[in-house]
Amino acid sequence: HILVKDLYRKTEEYADKQVTVGGWIRTVRSSKTFGFIELNDGSFFKNVQIVFEDTLENYQEISKLNVGSAIIVEGTIVKTPEAKQPFEIKASAITVEGTSTPDYPLQKKRHSFEFLRTIAHLRPRTNTFSAVFRVRSLAAYAIHQFFQERGFVYVHTPIITGSDAEGAGEMFRVSTLDLNNLPKDQDGKVDFSKDFFGRETNLTVSGQLSVETYAMAFRNVYTFGPTFRAENSNTARHAAEFWMIEPEMAFADLNDDMELAEEMLKYIIQFVMDNAPEEMEFFNNFIDQTLFERLVNIVNSDFGHITYTEAIELLKKVNHQFEYPVEWGSDLQTEHERYLTEKIFNKPVFVTDYPKDIKAFYMRQNDDGKTVAAMDLLVPGVGEIIGGSQREERLDVLENRIKELNMKEEDYWWYLDTRRYGGTKHAGFGLGFERAIMYMTGMSNIRDVISFPRTVKNAEF
């Protein structure tokens, strides 16, 4: 089969040639003697128009096909310079692969994204989702290309883990125990020694701790996989299952980390603009009319930098505007992040050196005793897209922090070993893949950039 995308791109080459295309019917119109089909073959969000005549032996059958049917068309490419589409296919034969029914949910009209979420198994057949998931696929490819070109080793870190990488207690439990009949020990606590792994386990919230150990062998590494958080926040940018890109570099500090993050983000954006120009134009026309301007501006500008302490000073001046006023020590909410990146910088901005009490245990403590060498990248429209840090490489400082936070030290013995045996300064970050896709497409809800979203009270499909 020929791809419709190629027909659009190389119409001259295919003109008057015989082609075969397979796809799904978007509309059928017919009269007594001829008809039109708008066909989508999945290679492109644009349809191809099929003209068919009653010279086809199955003309009646084709005329009565319902929207959604799958067909294979053989025919000739005819250029139509006067029409909306630059060409059409004059069918010489149409084979029906699979019929559809009149209650097919995707009739030709505008459907809301909310409605389309209820048919997540069919929504990839719409223009918007066709464009979103093609861009998502290309962005994943761009990320691998970016790191591979730079010699980073791709490490597959485990999905099931025994530790809490972020120490935030937002984990999904993994267990084979019978919930209705849990084995108990003498103190009445659940006896996890009876569980499959003989211990408590959960789905990973981040591959970082595992990937750090590989950075201590390969220097530059990355992991890119699904991560899971049982965060009870029902927002447009939180999912319980999301994908994260986590590079880690040995012999690197926070500045190296921010340089890598900026270079990577610009690379992905440029790659997608170069390789999906039609899809990006679609987003710019129908989803967010400032998209191109914004993305071009990002590729060409230097990202901003501000410390957390400076950011709080700025935000305090406009505290009356916020639902949650800030003071030194408070975590930045989306409203504050967006104010900084949209009102003050109008471009992506790195916020650095957060108070240690609102950040994870592994971040390197600064000399002031109050802050850590952390960085979050905030972007207009989305807020936090990247979280990263230089890691605490000093064994004693790290051990003390784990004790201070009442974490189970015995769960982290292998992690601490990397500080015992040839530890060195190192740094890394995590890019939320869905947030990056939202940012690049202008889509405003995380549920619409992941195939089958998992959010609070929602794990259908």
Q: Interface with Mg ion by CB under 5 A: which range of 86-94, 113-121, 385-393, 408-416?
A: 385-393
Give Dmax over CA atoms of the chain in angstroms: 85
C-beta of 347 vs 435, nearer to Mg ion: 435
Hey, which residues between 88 and 147 contact ligand 4AD (CB under 6 A)? none
Q: Does 442 bind ligand 4AD (CB under 6 A)?
A: no
At 182, list the tokens.
Answer: 């849990």
Q: Interface with ligand 4AD by CB under 6 A: which range of 8-16, 82-90, 231-239, 314-322?
A: 231-239
Q: Interface with ligand 4AD by CB under 6 A: which range of 123-131, 396-404, 407-415, 422-430?
A: 422-430
Q: Does 434 bind ligand 4AD (CB under 6 A)?
A: yes
Residue type, 118: T
Q: Does 387 bind Mg ion (CB under 5 A)?
A: yes
Report, in Å, the least distance between residue 333 CB and Mg ion: 12
Applying CB under 6 A, what is the total number of residues that bind ligand 4AD? 24
How far is residue 451's CA from residue 2's CA, in Å, rounded to a whole number?
26
Contact between residue 237 and residue 447 where contact means Cβ atoms under 8 Å apart = no
Q: Does 23 bind Mg ion (CB under 5 A)?
A: no
Q: Does 208 bind ligand 4AD (CB under 6 A)?
A: yes
Helix axes 291-300, 277-286, angle to 10 degrees: 120
Q: Of the candidates 139, 239, 261, 291, which one interacts with ligand 4AD according to CB under 6 A?
A: 239
At 398, list the tokens.
Answer: 């790290």
Q: Which does 312 bind (CB under 5 to 8 A by kind): ligand 4AD, Mg ion, none?
A: none
- 3-state secondary structure string, the chain? CCCHHHHHHCHHHHCCCEEEEEEEEEEEEECCCEEEEEEECCCCCCCEEEEEECCCCCHHHHHCCCCCCEEEEEEEEEECCCCCCCEEEEEEEEEEEECCCCCCCCCCCCCCHHHHHCCCCCHHHCHHHHHHHHHHHHHHHHHHHHHHHCCCEECCCCCEECCCCCCCCCCCEECCCCCCCCCECCCCCECHHHCCCCCCEEECCCCHHHHHHHHHHHCEEEEEEEEECCCCCCCCCCCCEEEEEEEEEECCCHHHHHHHHHHHHHHHHHHHHHHCHHHHHHHHHHCCCCHHHHHHHHHHCCCEEEEHHHHHHHHHCCHHHCCCCCCCCCCCCHHHHHHHHHHHHCCCEEEECCEHHHCCCCECECCCCCEECEEEEEECCCEEEEEEEEECCCHHHHHHHHHHCCCCHHHHHHHHHHHHCCCCCEEEEEEEHHHHHHHHHCCCCHHHCCCCCCECCECCC
Q: Does 229 bind ligand 4AD (CB under 6 A)?
A: yes
Q: Of the candidates 89, 385, 398, 438, which one interacts with ligand 4AD according to CB under 6 A?
A: 385
C-beta of 387 vs 442, nearer to Mg ion: 387
Q: Of the candidates 428, 437, 440, 441, which one interacts with ligand 4AD according to CB under 6 A?
A: 428
Binding track over 335-374 against Mg ion, x by CB under 5 A? ----------------------------------------
Q: Interface with ligand 4AD by CB under 6 A: which range of 122-130, 281-289, 383-391, 408-416?
A: 383-391
Contact between residue 374 and residue 430 where contact means Cβ atoms under 8 Å apart = no
Q: Does 363 bind ligand 4AD (CB under 6 A)?
A: no
C-beta of 258 vs 386, nearer to ligand 4AD: 386
How far is residue 279's CA from residue 134's CA, in Å, rounded to a whole number?
8
Q: Does 244 bind ligand 4AD (CB under 6 A)?
A: yes
Q: Of the candidates 246, 337, 353, 448, which one interacts with ligand 4AD according to CB under 6 A?
A: 246
Report, in Å, the least distance between residue 432 CB and Mg ion: 9
Q: Interface with ligand 4AD by CB under 6 A: which range of 61-69, 178-186, 189-197, 428-436?
A: 428-436
Q: Interface with ligand 4AD by CB under 6 A: which range of 138-146, 177-185, 188-196, 235-243?
A: 235-243
Q: Of the candidates 221, 265, 386, 449, which one interacts with ligand 4AD according to CB under 6 A?
A: 386
Q: Interface with ligand 4AD by CB under 6 A: which range of 77-85, 122-130, 242-250, 293-301?
A: 242-250
Q: Of the candidates 242, 339, 415, 439, which one interacts with ligand 4AD according to CB under 6 A?
A: 242
Binding site for Mg ion (CB under 5 A): 387
Binding site for ligand 4AD (CB under 6 A): 165-166, 206, 208, 229, 231, 238-239, 242, 244, 246, 384-389, 428-430, 432, 434-435, 446
